[in-house]
Structure 1
Amino acid sequence: MAADERRPRVAVLGAGLIGIDLAEKIRRSKNLDLRLVAGRDRESLGLRRAAEMGYVTASGGIAALLKAGPLDMVFDATNADSHAEHWAALRDTDTTLIDLTPTGLGAVIVPSVNGGQAAWHRHINLVSCGGQAAIPVLHAISQRCTPTYIELVSTGASASAGRATRLNLDQYIAATAAAIRSFTSTKDVKVMVNLSPAQPAPPFRVAMTVLAAGIRPAPIRASIAAAAEDVRAFTPGFKVTSLSVDSGRISVAVEVTATGGRIPAYAGNLDIINGAAVLLAEQYAAR
């Protein structure tokens, strides 16, 4: 049996900013076999770029993907409004669907927190880029104290947010807040998003404020450091840039710088969610 036949056959659905970077990450993986990048419009810039990069491409969206033959895994990098249709098309197949759109559908997975649960599901949701950056830190905090309020502000470069991201901002906020509530058992959660047009473009930044009872600074700091180290295993550009722990209040900010690939350094939002997706796929391959 050839090496490619032993590797999971995967496809990327969507040829926007996220989809193209995801395809590049998959191609660099020794454990995954990228069979197709599918988009809606053959003349779209993203699909033309994917073809120029040497990927097998197809237009027609989910219909084209279904015609491509059996696939072990599909990454949905399109938009939240289309995802339910894509899952309906794949539900009765043996394909695992990893959702990179902020639908809140499927099993919500943050690799460094509950990645082990992914093996039990064929429909996986990765929350949002802000969720992937914040939840490991917030979950670590919630294991050391009892948050009563969590506020999160994500700031990304305007150039790193494609059309689908802009159209899905309401879903992004709702899905991220719901996931934070689930992972921290905190009812009062507020999520905000900023797209910055500043030049030079700023790195992806997530600022978190936690109000809580029973705060002990040393264990909190240690838990945050450990959580950050776990995230860096698949997103090397992740770092904690500020941390303040006071009586009743924790303020922490993280930045994500994209490393490697074709995306600019400021596009850490793409880097972290795509890194999470590829990690889960490689774990699938190992099984």
Structure 2
Amino acid sequence: MSATSRTKVAIIGSGNIGTDLMIKVLRTAQHLEMGAMVGIDPASDGLARARDLGVPTVHDGVDGLVAMPGFEDIEIVFDATSAKAHHHNAALLEPLGKRLIDLTPAAIGPYVIPAVNIDRHLDAPNVNMVTCGGQATIPVVAAISQVVPVAYAEIIASIASKSAGPGTRANIDEFTETTSAAIVEVGGAQSGKAIIILNPAEPPLMMRDTVLALVQAPNEATRRAIRASIEAIVGTVASYVPGYRLVQDVQITAIPDDQPVRTLIPGGGERPTHQVSVFLEVTGAGHYLPAYAGNLDIMTSAALQVAERIAARNHDRAALA
């Protein structure tokens, strides 16, 4: 694909996530071209970096984006603002025919986890990238669900406090709600729960994610299949997030008879026999913040995967027309 046939994109939100995504588009994208970086603070570091890199900038939000010269050439808009702001942005941009990739937990559009369902919603006008914790853990829940039903899945995402900007902090409630819903809808669990921890440790710690799943795994053959499925999908995620890895072997342990696990499972059903425990780490690529900010890296890498797939498919369709 030639540079002239690249799909122009805009990024709304000049904070940590938006800036990291802009650098990824400029350095690594095969089918995308930066058309605009949009913020609301003309003095923000993200807008300053965009200007230094020759990217057109807008400092008066989505309204300024719509009014800027060349707006009609932008096909895909990434929203890296907040869940509340995304509702306003989507209402303005969707009627204008722009494809939206939502990096907030607003959850207006269908949930997309590239390792699980990247091709399922490519025609949707607005796709939701869930959350950083969801991108890291839901593939594992889905991998377990491919082998046995998951009665309950719980994920804990621990990120460095320094990597969480104002938008992330404003979205804590939406993080838990959206991730919990996606554990069920995309991961396939009967019920799910999400917890996020902003760790203030110095020096900052790498992003760590834990998945706990309750399943029926009565024999060793089933347990081997669960481990193999998890290891395969970890490899798939690592193909677009190189810093993503298991930090230890998958643990599958019998649930003691006196453990009240039924309280976690709405509607009852057969009591799970085993708990699957998966421990993950995400090391960031360091495109904007240092390597501890794996939460930025997995979110922006996932969004980039979706945009690249949309752009490549649209180009192929145009070539065949």
- TM-score normalised by structure 2 residue count: 0.86
| Counterpart contact for 1:258–1:264, Cα < 8 Å | yes
Q: Following the alignment from structure 1 to structure 2, what is the Cα–Cα distance between the partners of residues 42 and 276?
A: 28
Q: Following the alignment from structure 1 to structure 2, what is the Cα–Cα distance between the partners of residues 54 and 162?
A: 24
Alignment partner of 2:241: what SS? Answer: coil
Q: Which amino acid aligns with 2:290?
A: P
1:196 aligns with 2:222: no
Q: Following the alignment from structure 2 to structure 1, what is the Cα–Cα distance between the partners of residues 115 and 210?
A: 19
Q: Which amino acid aligns with 1:26?
A: V
1:130 aligns with 2:133: yes
Measured after TM superposition, the shift of residue 95 of structure 1 is: 1.3
1:94 aligns with 2:97: yes
| Counterpart contact for 1:217–1:246, Cα < 8 Å | no
Q: Following the alignment from structure 2 to structure 1, what is the Cα–Cα distance between the partners of residues 204 and 39?
A: 28
Equivalences for 1:129-148 in 2 at 5 Å? 129-148=132-151
Q: Which amino acid aligns with 2:40?
A: R
| Counterpart contact for 2:131–2:299, Cα < 8 Å | yes
Q: Which residue of 2 aligns with 1:244?
A: 251
Q: Which residue of 1 aligns with 2:231?
A: 225
Structure label with greater radius of gyration: 2
RMSD: 1.5
Alignment partner of 1:106: what SS? Answer: coil
Q: Which moved more, 1:44-53 or 1:105-114?
A: 44-53
Q: Which residue of 2 aligns with 1:283?
A: 309
Unaligned stretches of 5+ residues in structure 1 = none
Measured after TM superposition, the shift of residue 260 of structure 1 is: 4.7
Q: Which residue of 2 aligns with 1:65?
A: 65
| Counterpart contact for 2:155–2:212, Cα < 8 Å | yes
| Counterpart contact for 2:142–2:188, Cα < 8 Å | no
Q: Following the alignment from structure 2 to structure 1, what is the Cα–Cα distance between the partners of residues 57 and 236?
A: 34
1:34 aligns with 2:34: yes
Q: Which residue of 2 aligns with 1:18?
A: 17
Q: Which residue of 2 aligns with 1:149?
A: 152
Within the candidate set 155, 173, 178, 1:175 is matched to 178
Q: Following the alignment from structure 1 to structure 2, what is the Cα–Cα distance between the partners of residues 202 and 272?
A: 16
Measured after TM superposition, the shift of residue 56 of structure 1 is: 1.7
Q: Deviations over 1:26-68 (max 9, x none)?
A: 0112321101100012123332233234322111111111123
Measured after TM superposition, the shift of residue 281 of structure 1 is: 1.1
Q: Which amino acid aligns with 2:275?
A: R
| Counterpart contact for 1:13–1:77, Cα < 8 Å | yes
Q: Following the alignment from structure 1 to structure 2, what is the Cα–Cα distance between the partners of residues 196 and 46?
A: 24
Aligned length: 286
Q: Which runs of 4+ in 1 moved over 4 A?
A: none
Alignment partner of 1:116: what SS? Answer: coil
Q: Deviations over 1:184-239 (max 9, x none)?
A: 34343221111111112111111111111135211011000100011011100000
| Counterpart contact for 1:146–1:214, Cα < 8 Å | no
Q: Which amino acid aligns with 1:55?
A: V
